[in-house]
Structure 1
């Protein structure tokens, strides 16, 4: 689509945003070629615009990464097609006047936006966005003796949530454990969804782990309390109370997740690509580089880690990596048991270690870790066409002939410059959790739930 045909900013409405991107839905005429599309635009944090300048990923890699690298692993049916569209600064400046700028702003230097299918649009369409997080415990073979007991008993997400709360962030109390969500056990999956729902309700819908959209509009807990919200007319619920609506939404989400293999595949790929944990990965990098071994100080290690790992991967780097590793990674979709997942993870660790020793570089293991980081940070959109409903109309579970879809989004490649940050954060998170347990009595520690794959 040529730039001249790009509709004005007034034709786009704010939908949602993540840490790096702003999402706008096209709200113009249904006859426009942009109808049914959303646009992702890069953001920048005002306080960090200069500090993070080196972390930008080239646009070609960002837009082709999903199609060429992630789709062969998760399946093209779970990814939306992305297309670049050229942008001009004047268009972005006009858009920016409508957007908040207290913390972040539209990146006025962006030269391309990304057009994707608008998964939340459509008459009678319920879209549930869920961020499943890390779906595994790390490989104990590559953990330090001091951290292994903690990291093999408590998942990264549960520990990270406490770390952020201890640092002053407005995080929810203990509850959602992603290992429940990934477990394949209906009771545990329902517990995970229930915890997410409770956090969504208590936060006023502010958490990014769970979001609801109906006919393109985001739904808040307060709106769901309303007896006349149109979503309630489209749902089959025992009653129109908030609890009745919550129960129906939970049933729909759990049923959709159980009907799809995507969570199982996602967890297996995450664990397989992160075969060493960040601890083992850093040790592998050090073993391949004499200079790294001679600079053991933590500050130096964090600062120099990315430079020893190499330049930001290009699209050709990623394609070469996948071509070599796809025979192993393609087994992820067939892993139906924890034992099979662990066997695949161990096979990948052995393969990456041998390749590092032969090449004198841990580059392949670094790319595997970065790809795992992308999959750990993705979101899922569960798209359920309910069909438009009026008060008193006969209600169906979904619209006639409708198909429930689960699509993975937010699959951007991670900057290699963050490798040092990942290593530092891992140590801080584990230490914060250990200090928490040490402050507890034996009885209190016994009440802390262990995370189980």
Structure 2
């Protein structure tokens, strides 16, 4: 296949869309181009002062971004392709990237600009389907964890809390203690498949977006291809034009109209049930059970922390993992995990983290009023060296929540009964 070169476009053809911890996204706005129109450019970032800059030689051949192979070979076996964006390699050029930084770095949030930058040493990036541009509005929701853990691998100190309050709600409490903006959103409401609870979750997401002036990342609005905030009157008017019959920009009316429209879109889509099922069946031990198994079987491994010194899986190992997950994994006795399956469980937890951290893009179908497409994005490969950090964070979150006196009760519908939601097997 003939490679696609970013130098076939100009840096000024690209506008900033959004970014996460590892990547930054730009949307093509130049003259019509078969290869670039209706696509976004996803670039890797690097922290200031990071040694990663010295590991890459911009003049040498670098491997394709692993996200492409990961989606093609792994994710697509678990999620139907109709719910995934298309991805392809684009060849980058350092001077071009530096020009893009000069042009667009000022469009990034100030807090992001202070910590990281585009990795201009990369000579390959990703072109993906533009799910933001080419449509009047688009919404991004980051659902987060959609389940409560089972009791069998939790300690006596954590079992009562972890089986009553979801990880996201505990983490929200922890973040508020450290001065971050709070939210009443609970993922278990969004994943419940119950219309009343889904509407409650969407209402909380809207309130969090509005009250934080768009700083919370669990809900983002894009109007005419650009991320918008509640104080952008022009964009809010366009939202009102789309969601409300009378085009009223009254906050309460707009929130209710948004909640009603999105609830129907999510309830009619299998995306959330797919994500919930994958999350809970891949994270079957909780990080506590995973840590116990690792400690019991860690001879030959470093005991500096969960997953320390464990090499990251190759793509071939990931392919083998998926085969086992789709065949034998569901018949294993996970209440007594086998030490021989340690690496499988470590990989399963990493993959679960991918589905916990992804986003969904919801956008209207052009031909059907009131009908929406739902697409899953941001499915990065997670690294083994993050397991120890997650274990420590889990302890901090639970310890804080226990001492905070909060008693929020989160209801996991699928844990109580497997009926009522579309089952994953239907979509394989």
TM-score, structure 2 as length reference: 0.86
Offset at 1:245? 2.5
Please name the residue that 1:266 is paired with.
Answer: 275
- CA gap 1:425/1:43 in 2 versus in 1, 3 angstroms: same
Quick check: 1:133–1:377 contact (8 Å CA) kept in 2? yes
- CA gap 1:272/1:292 in 2 versus in 1, 3 angstroms: same
Indicate yes or no: 2:214 matched with 1:220. no
Please name the residue that 1:6 is paired with.
Answer: 8
Pick the aligned partner of 2:354 from 374, 394, 397: 374
- CA gap 1:53/1:207 in 2 versus in 1, 3 angstroms: farther
- Equivalent residue of 1:222, what SS? coil
Please name the residue that 1:136 is paired with.
Answer: 147
What is the distance in 2 between the residues matched to 1:352 and 1:155? 24
Please name the residue that 2:327 is paired with.
Answer: 327
What is the distance in 1 between the residues matched to 2:99 and 2:366? 36
Please name the residue that 2:202 is paired with.
Answer: 193
Please name the residue that 1:121 is paired with.
Answer: 133
Offset at 1:301? 2.7
Please name the residue that 2:117 is paired with.
Answer: 105
Offset at 1:233? 3.0
Q: How many residues align?
A: 396
- Listed as ranges, the gaps of 5+ residues in structure 2 are 56-61, 107-112, 413-428
Please name the residue that 1:315 is paired with.
Answer: 315
Offset at 1:285? 1.4
What is the distance in 2 between the residues matched to 1:44 and 1:199? 29
> As a proportion of its length, which structure holds more helix?
1
Pick the aligned partner of 2:364 from 378, 384, 394: 384
Please name the residue that 1:363 is paired with.
Answer: 343
TM-score, structure 1 as length reference: 0.81
What is the distance in 1 between the residues matched to 2:162 and 2:6? 53
Quick check: 1:238–1:244 contact (8 Å CA) kept in 2? no
What is the distance in 2 between the residues matched to 1:172 and 1:428? 18
- Listed as ranges, the gaps of 5+ residues in structure 1 are 330-343, 388-395, 438-444
Identify which range, 15-24 or 59-68, moves more after superposition. 59-68
Quick check: 1:12–1:27 contact (8 Å CA) kept in 2? yes
Matches within 5 A, 1:3-402: 3=5, 5-46=7-48, 49-50=50-51, 59-98=64-103, 99-100=105-106, 101-123=113-135, 125-168=136-179, 170-173=180-183, 175-223=184-232, 225-226=233-234, 229-242=237-250, 243-290=252-299, 300-301=304-305, 305-307=307-309, 310-327=310-327, 347=331, 350=334, 353-354=337-338, 356-357=339-340, 362-385=342-365, 397-398=369-370
What is the distance in 1 between the residues matched to 2:54 and 2:392? 20
- CA gap 1:422/1:209 in 2 versus in 1, 3 angstroms: same
